[in-house]
Amino acid sequence: MLRYIVKRLLWMIPIILGVTILVFTMMIFCPGDPAEIILGSTAMEADLAAKRVELGLDKPYLIRLATYISDVFFHFDLGVSWITNVDIMSTIADRMPRTLILAVVTLVIAFGLGIPLGITAATHQNKWQDHVSMVLALIGVAIPNFWLALLLIILFSVKLGWLPAMGVGTGLAGIQYYILPALANCAGALANSARQTRSAMLDVIRADYITTARSKGVAERQVIIKHALKNALLPIITTMGISFGRMLGGAMIIETIFSLPGMGSYIIGAVNNRDYPIVQGGSIMLAIAFSIAMLLIDLLYAAVDPRIKAQYASSKKRKKVKAVA
Amino acid sequence: MRNTMINNLTKSNKKHKKQSELQRVIKQLKKNKIAMLGLYILIVEIILAALAPYISRYGYAEMDLTACFATPSFKHFFGCDDMGRDIFSRVLYGGRYSISIGIIAVLIAVVVGICIGAVAGYFGGQVDNIFMRILDVVQAIPGMLLMIVISAVLGPGFMNTIIALSVSTIPGMARMLRAQMMKERDSEYIEAAKSINCSQFSIIFQHLLPNCISPLIVQATMGVAQTITLAAGLSFIGLGVQPPLPEWGAMLSAARSYIRQSPHLVIFPGLAIAVTVLALNLLGDGLRDALDPKLKN
Amino acid sequence: MSENEVRKNVPFLSVKDLVVEYKSDGQIVHAVNGVSLSLEKGKTLGLVGETGAGKTTIAKSILRILPDVGAKIAKGSISLDGKDVLNLPENEMRKIRGNVVSMIFQDPMTALNPVQKIGDQIAEVIRLHSDEYTDFEKRAKEMLEIVGIPAERYSEYPHQFSGGMKQRVIIAIALACNPTLLLADEPTTALDVTIQAQVMDLIVDLQKKYETALLLITHDMGVVATVCDDVAVIYAGNIVEYGTKEQIFDHPTHPYTIGLFGAIPDMNEDEIWLHPIEGLPPDPTNLPQGCAFSPRCKYAADECRKEPISVYKTPDGHDCRCCRINEISTQED
């Protein structure tokens, strides 16, 4: 298992390198002259030219790419903001936790509530519990998270005045700022996980080994939790990665609505200000965070499914050959 | 049951099979009332959007400064926005943008996804490896982020939104098609096709693809739903379709500032998105059940 | 039979007039249509019939583990040791399952939980029922050795076992609590031919050793001949012929049973053609009126197609659900 984790971590290096190259290359085509963005449209031509040299824009593409990669991976330096001149890496270190907290909390809420809801629907197939949860799930899937965020603000902040509509706080009181964003962001994933759990459970409940468990005299509750759910979890976990990606993306929009200073509002603000180093560095850091999350989800999968675990234990050599090729 | 057996028996007659398969799917779909409800909602929405100029009394940009922030009434079904524009008209016209963005972006993604997935899945080996590593890199960037970066490069606008959306939809389509291709690739009917010296092009597109199409149709339907939401999200943060065009997400974005005084500005465009996405999901669920009876519970 | 004998031979399992229906797509599937049978402690009853005849449904009804969606025991009674099974509360029923009555399933490939260690799957049934064994793991390892699997494999998962080995594990689960009745649902059908005999021998050896009653569901007449005391031949959810093994094998009377024997190759004769039973089993959603076998029966007459056939006694005293037994026996001789 340890070797698998190490191997997966090593495999992340070319992926992240690829992301860096991809993002860097795309950003080159951004409209506008960087020197002019930095110095403003009133700057003198001589100053602009000097700035271009300072930024290394006169050098060929490959050199600039190599410089950027070495800055990022060997000096952990993403450069400074064109507009405010603030160091990007330290800003990200400050903001990233908020986005991750929002994404992880919503993931936990979504699956923590979605799985029991799906189980209830599956074990009461075609009864009212099933119909009610599936109608709710359909609606939940259909509502865009940013619209839900606005509706929640109207209800809880404007009409009822229970929760703040924007900002951050410190300490325990800071939690209240996360409640509405988390609610808005989790609805879709909650609904999705409930639907997936239901169909996975319905598949599993018909399996022979469930009949075996019943024939052993296992109580129905235990049959569902111990025998059915553990098997149904496998397809659910595989979709968790996709969900987490959507959570991160959703969190970016939600942050701008609730003025939560996270990665989303940082990057989106930067796009609007044409502050491209932030977009570039922020995207790479978010991709790294996402890749680590995917790795954790894969490990979770391996922990639940002995067949996968065995595969990693026994076919190390074969897999290595494949990965090298 | 017996019917499907007979259908299988007549497999040799390809045209006949196709016909009966299509008829079976349509018949199945017609039986599914919920899926048909989704289909009807969509048809109505498309007609409303197409005939918007004949239905609504106001143009989408027509301002009536005396009616700013008007609440819903017989004169203005959904009320008016901050510039006195009729929200009902704007929602109708907005359907043109939102629905067509969704459909076009998914169509592009399907075509490109078919090409990548088919080639990678059929040839396997190195070709597959290269394509999949590229997709690995693209998919390491969360979809929404990728769209934001692409919009940053291309700038906002209708066509650029479509490009951003289809690029981030392609990897999923390609991967799913590749998995299907690999499953079907080793079937006996493919060996049979090879044995009579079919060209690789014809094997991929005439023999393999039709057998991989069912999950593609379902994924595409669901994909349109998701793309409409994403497009609205992108416009909402100001990177997609720009005001004054009445795209639903852009309308929500503009309405955000007036959320305290006039919540009705926020309600209707969002409701339009939700209803469209719901209808597409209902149809997608129904299609999945109809196309693959095995999956039906 | 005297009053005294009856009391002594009170059957452990007694099924009376069992009717089981499934609802599917608005149609009613008549899976079991009035089956009665009984089984004494330590004896073996063979339940013989084609796929889809309702054999598995009978076994699952005894344990009350029919799939709850749509399946319904419409009529009849099942008693175990005098206790009415169908009216027991669920928690009482759980004490019977795996403990007093246990079951071996047809397909070992899917009958074990893929994400649980096989040892734990055996230990689970012991933990649920046994007061006798306090060390569940030790007993589970003991059971593994009994069915011929090294105890060291306790911590392995089903995917590491072959089909025959999995069936051994399932047998270990079934016998771990020394049940009084074992339901074996085609226990060897899914296995390789070479393994079939081994597994069957294992079941029979253990059954003899622990004096377990065995309800053996099979369509293999050879197995029935070597293993069973009594035989019930089942067709379209109904027992058509029921007697001791000798009675059925020496004097098959029902046309269906005769047909079944005709479909077995005879080693002593140089037969070129087997004699299959013409036609297909009836659609269980739409059973023919009268005798369900009548459409395929060469002896069928008008009286067969009118009303349900009652049970007749054959000359050697076993039961046969055929109204034309007299005509058949004269023709056959």
pLDDT tens track for A103-133: 888 999 999 999 999 999 998 888 898 999 9
Contact B266 A31 (CB under 8 A): no
- State the pLDDT confidence band at A305, using cuts at 50, 70 and 90: confident
Q: What residue ranges do the domains of chain A occupy?
A: 92-320
Tokens in use for C36?
């009665």
* Cα–Cα distance for residue pair A281/B103, rounded to 1 Å: 32
ipTM metric? 0.86
Q: Give the model's pLDDT for residue C4.
A: 43
Q: Look at residue C296 and tell me whether its pLDDT is greater than 90.
A: no
Q: Give the model's pLDDT for residue B19.
A: 57
Percent of chain A clearing pLDDT 90 (strictly above): 33
Percent of chain C clearing pLDDT 90 (strictly above): 23
Q: Give the model's pLDDT for residue B293.
A: 55
Q: Helix (H, G, I), strand (E, B), or coil: what is residue B15?
A: helix
Q: What is the mean pLDDT of residues B108-122?
A: 88
Q: Is A77 on the interface with C (CB under 8 A)?
A: no
Q: Look at residue A325 and tell me whether its pLDDT is greater than 60.
A: no
* Cα–Cα distance for residue pair C275/A286, rounded to 1 Å: 72
Q: Is A125 on the interface with B (CB under 8 A)?
A: yes
Q: CA A146 from chain center: how many Å? A: 16
* Cα–Cα distance for residue pair A201/A235, rounded to 1 Å: 10
* Cα–Cα distance for residue pair B195/C42, rounded to 1 Å: 60
Contact B237 A144 (CB under 8 A): no
Mean pLDDT, chain C, rounded, equals: 85
Burial of C230 (0-12, 13-18, 19+ CB in 10 A): buried
Q: What is the mean pLDDT of residues C48-60?
A: 86
Q: Give the model's pLDDT for residue A288.
A: 92
Of the candidates A191, A170, A152, A193, the one whose C-alpha atom is nearest the C-alpha of residue A98 is A170
Q: Which residues contact B241 (CB under 8 A, 6 or more apart)?
A: B97, B101, B156, B157, B158, B161, B231, B235, B247, B249, B250
CA B91-B93-B95 angle, to 5 degrees, is 70
Q: Give the model's pLDDT for residue C332.
A: 53
Q: Helix (H, G, I), strand (E, B), or coil: what is residue C14?
A: strand
Contacts of residue B138 in chain A, CB cutoff 8 Å? 22
User: Does any domain span residue B290?
Assistant: yes
Q: Look at residue A275 and tell me whether its pLDDT is greater than 60.
A: yes
Q: Give the model's pLDDT for residue B18.
A: 52
User: Does any domain span residue B71?
Assistant: no
Q: Give the model's pLDDT for residue A57.
A: 82
Of the candidates B47, B233, B278, the one whose C-alpha atom is nearest the C-alpha of residue B143 is B233
Contact B140 A15 (CB under 8 A): yes
Contact A306 C102 (CB under 8 A): no
Burial of A133 (0-12, 13-18, 19+ CB in 10 A): buried
- State the pLDDT confidence band at C192, using cuts at 50, 70 and 90: confident
β-pairing, C181-185 vs C213-218, is parallel
Q: Look at residue B206 and tell me whether its pLDDT is greater than 50.
A: yes
* Cα–Cα distance for residue pair A72/A197, rounded to 1 Å: 41
Q: Look at residue C50 and tell me whether its pLDDT is greater than 80.
A: yes
* Cα–Cα distance for residue pair A33/A50, rounded to 1 Å: 13
Contacts of residue A153 in chain B, CB cutoff 8 Å? 259
For residue C74, give the H/E element and its range.
strand C71-80
User: Does any domain span residue B15?
Assistant: no
Mean pLDDT, chain A, rounded, equals: 86
Q: What is the mean pLDDT of residues B150-175?
A: 90
Q: What is the mean pLDDT of residues B22-38?
A: 85
Q: Give the model's pLDDT for residue B13.
A: 44
Q: Look at residue A310 and tell me whether its pLDDT is greater than 80.
A: no
- State the pLDDT confidence band at C331, using cuts at 50, 70 and 90: low
Q: Look at residue A169 and tell me whether its pLDDT is greater than 90.
A: no
CA distance B17 to chain A (A): 29
CA distance B211 to chain A (A): 24
Q: What is the mean pLDDT of residues B175-197?
A: 83
Closest residue in A to C112 (Cα) is A209
User: Does any domain span residue B184?
Assistant: yes
Q: Give the model's pLDDT for residue C7.
A: 44
Tell me which CATH code domain A92-320 carries.
1.10.3720.10
Q: Look at residue C72 and tell me whether its pLDDT is greater than 90.
A: no
Q: Give the model's pLDDT for residue B279.
A: 94
CATH number at residue B44: 1.10.3720.10
Closest residue in A to C127 (Cα) is A218
Mean pLDDT, chain B, rounded, equals: 83
Dihedral over Cα of A56, A59, A65, A67: its sign: negative
Contact A253 B259 (CB under 8 A): no
Q: What is the mean pLDDT of residues C131-151?
A: 87
Q: Give the model's pLDDT for residue C329.
A: 65
Give the number of domains in chain B.
1
- State the pLDDT confidence band at B191, using cuts at 50, 70 and 90: confident
User: Does any domain span residue B26?
Assistant: no
Contact A325 B129 (CB under 8 A): yes
Q: Is A243 on the interface with C (CB under 8 A)?
A: no
Q: Look at residue A244 and tell me whether its pLDDT is greater than 70.
A: yes
Length of chain B: 297
Q: What is the CA radius of gyration of chain A?
A: 24
Contact B274 A290 (CB under 8 A): no
First to last CA, chain A: 22
- State the pLDDT confidence band at C9, using cuts at 50, 70 and 90: low
Residues of A (142-161) whose Cβ lies below 8 Å from B: 142-147, 150-151, 153-154, 158
Of the candidates A224, A199, A229, the one whose C-alpha atom is nearest the C-alpha of residue A214 is A224
* DSSP code for C283: P
Q: Look at residue C5 and tell me whether its pLDDT is greater than 50.
A: no
Backbone angles phi, psi at C282, to 5 degrees: -70, 155
User: Does any domain span residue B266?
Assistant: yes
Q: What is the mean pLDDT of residues A289-306?
A: 87
Q: Number of helices (H) and strands (E) in chain A: give both, helices first.
A: 15, 0
Packed helices C163-175 and C118-129: angle between N→C axes, nearest 10 degrees: 10
Tell me which CATH code domain C41-66+87-234 carries.
3.40.50.300
Q: Give the model's pLDDT for residue A117.
A: 93
- State the pLDDT confidence band at B145, using cuts at 50, 70 and 90: very high
Contact C114 A212 (CB under 8 A): no
Q: Look at residue C266 and tell me whether its pLDDT is greater than 80.
A: no
Q: Which of A27, A150, A286 is facing B142, going by the closest CB pair?
A: A286
* Cα–Cα distance for residue pair B277/A144, rounded to 1 Å: 9
Of A230-234, B211-215, B266-270, give the lowest mean pLDDT range: B211-215
Tokens in use for C262?
């005709």
* Sheet-wide strand order for C101-104: C101-104, C181-185, C213-218, C44-48, C230-235, C238-244, C319-320, C312-313
Q: Give the model's pLDDT for residue A91.
A: 92
Q: Give the model's pLDDT for residue C297.
A: 84
Q: Give the model's pLDDT for residue C322.
A: 85
* Cα–Cα distance for residue pair B166/C199, rounded to 1 Å: 58
Residues of A (182-211) whose Cβ lies below 8 Å from B: 199, 202
User: Does any domain span residue B111?
Assistant: yes
Q: Give the model's pLDDT for residue A323.
A: 42
CA distance A189 to chain C (A): 26
Q: Look at residue C205 and tell me whether its pLDDT is greater than 70.
A: yes
Q: Give the model's pLDDT for residue C3.
A: 43
Q: Which residues contact B169 (CB under 8 A, 6 or more apart)?
A: B105, B106, B109, B113, B223, B226, B227
A64-84 tens-digit pLDDT:
899 899 988 888 888 888 888
Q: Which residues pair with C243 in a beta bridge?
A: C231
Q: What is the mean pLDDT of residues B38-64?
A: 85
* DSSP code for C112: S
* Cα–Cα distance for residue pair C215/C184, rounded to 1 Å: 6
Q: Look at residue B203 and tell me whether its pLDDT is greater than 60.
A: yes
Q: Helix (H, G, I), strand (E, B), or coil: what is residue B196?
A: coil
Q: Give the model's pLDDT for residue A85.
A: 83
Contacts of residue B236 in chain A, CB cutoff 8 Å? 146, 253
Backbone angles phi, psi at C183, to 5 degrees: -100, 115
Q: Which of C99, C105, C157 is facing A306, going by the closest CB pair?
A: C157
* Cα–Cα distance for residue pair A267/A85, rounded to 1 Å: 15
Q: Give the model's pLDDT for residue C184.
A: 92
Of the candidates B166, B273, B172, the one whose C-alpha atom is nearest the C-alpha of residue B218 is B172
Q: Is A292 on the interface with B (CB under 8 A)?
A: no
Q: Select the more confidently predicted residue: A141 or C275.
A: A141
Contact A212 C173 (CB under 8 A): yes
Q: Helix (H, G, I), strand (E, B), or coil: what is residue A9?
A: helix
Q: What is the mean pLDDT of residues A287-316?
A: 79
C88-122 tens-digit pLDDT:
898 889 989 988 999 998 888 899 999 899 999 99
- State the pLDDT confidence band at C27, using cuts at 50, 70 and 90: confident
Q: Look at residue B12 and tell me whether its pLDDT is greater than 60.
A: no
Q: What is the mean pLDDT of residues C117-145?
A: 88
Q: Give the model's pLDDT for residue A266.
A: 92
CA distance B4 to chain A (A): 22
Q: What is the mean pLDDT of residues C176-185?
A: 90
Q: What is the mean pLDDT of residues C165-174?
A: 91
Residues of A (21-60) whose Cβ lies below 8 Å from B: 22-23, 26-27, 29-31
Domain coverage including residue B165: 31-65+77-295
Contacts 24+ apart (CB under 8 A), C192-196: C192/C163, C192/C164, C195/C163, C195/C164, C195/C167
* Cα–Cα distance for residue pair C35/A272, rounded to 1 Å: 78
